[in-house]
Amino acid sequence: MQKRLVRKLDLEKAISKVKPHPTPRAYLEQYTISTETTAKILHIAAYTYDDIIGKTIMDLGCGTGRLAIGAVLVGAKEAFGVDIDREAIRMAHNNAEKLGVKERTHWIIADIDVMRGSFDTVLQNPPFGVQRKGADRKFLEKSLKLGYRVYSLHKSGKSNREFAEGSRERGARFVPVSPSPFLKRFIEKHGGEIKAVYAMRMTIPHMFDFHKKRKHEFMVGLYVIEGKKV
């Protein structure tokens, strides 16, 4: 069985072996999360909020499985990953096997709409709704139905500069920022309560024809949300 990874650096090294999608599609916003951001999210969830070790995890829109596989490497009891894309799930399955976590991961090809059940923790890097309006909100609504704690990445209303400057000023490892008023209202309307929002760096390599730069870097907010008791 795979040893539990505690150090962030060891986790990053392991996650870097989780291969990204070979043929990503723009309309599904199939961007793979960076190894650094994955490790940061898992460390916050595990060691600030105790939401990973020994817990059952759901990774909504799991892509090739970085968050779900990472959660098991940190010590989750088991993790489920769901994605609408068959190729992503095939890759997730292979990645889990390669990293020695096959027995504790379960992969489902489905639209998140059909998911039912209850999980201790939902982790998600949803489509930001850039290609299909409202895609991010659909993920938020579903995650709040499935999980007691939800970790969800969302585009920030603030400019990259404001976000980055805030991070530098405070000099902290994990930087809390204020939530978007729109998302706050949306989350509360669906029974959730925001515990914190942390600034995270998102890096997207040149993947699609409409990308102009070699890589696109921007800041997002990791929303830590308490859902209903499940």
- Rounded Cα–Cα distance for residues 84 and 101 (Å): 22
Residues numbered 116-135 forming contacts with ligand SAM, rule: CB under 6 A = 125-127
Is the four-CA dihedral 226, 65, 90, 216 of positive or negative sign? positive
Tokens of 99: 């990293």
Query: How many chain residues interact with ligand SAM (CB under 6 A)?
Result: 21
**Nearer residue to ligand SAM within complex by CB, 84 or 196:** 84
* Dihedral Cα 82, 85, 90, 91, nearest 10 deg: -90
- Rounded Cα–Cα distance for residues 70 and 57 (Å): 11
Q: How far is the CB of 33 from ligand SAM (least distance, A)?
A: 3
- What is the contact mask toward ligand SAM in residues 61 to 100, using x (rule: CB under 6 A)? xxx--xx--------------xxxx--x------------
Running DSSP on this structure, what letter comes out for residue 20? -
**Sole window of 7-15, 22-30, 144-152, 160-168 interacting with ligand SAM (rule: CB under 6 A):** 22-30
Q: Does 200 bind ligand SAM (CB under 6 A)?
A: no
Q: How far is the CB of 173 from ligand SAM (least distance, A)?
A: 21
Query: Which residue bears the tokens 């795979």?
Result: 2
Task: Choose which of 29, 51, 120, 141 interacts with ligand SAM (CB under 6 A).
Answer: 29
Helices marked H in 171-203: 181-189
Q: Which residues bind ligand SAM (CB under 6 A)?
A: 28-33, 61-63, 66-67, 82-85, 88, 111-112, 125-127
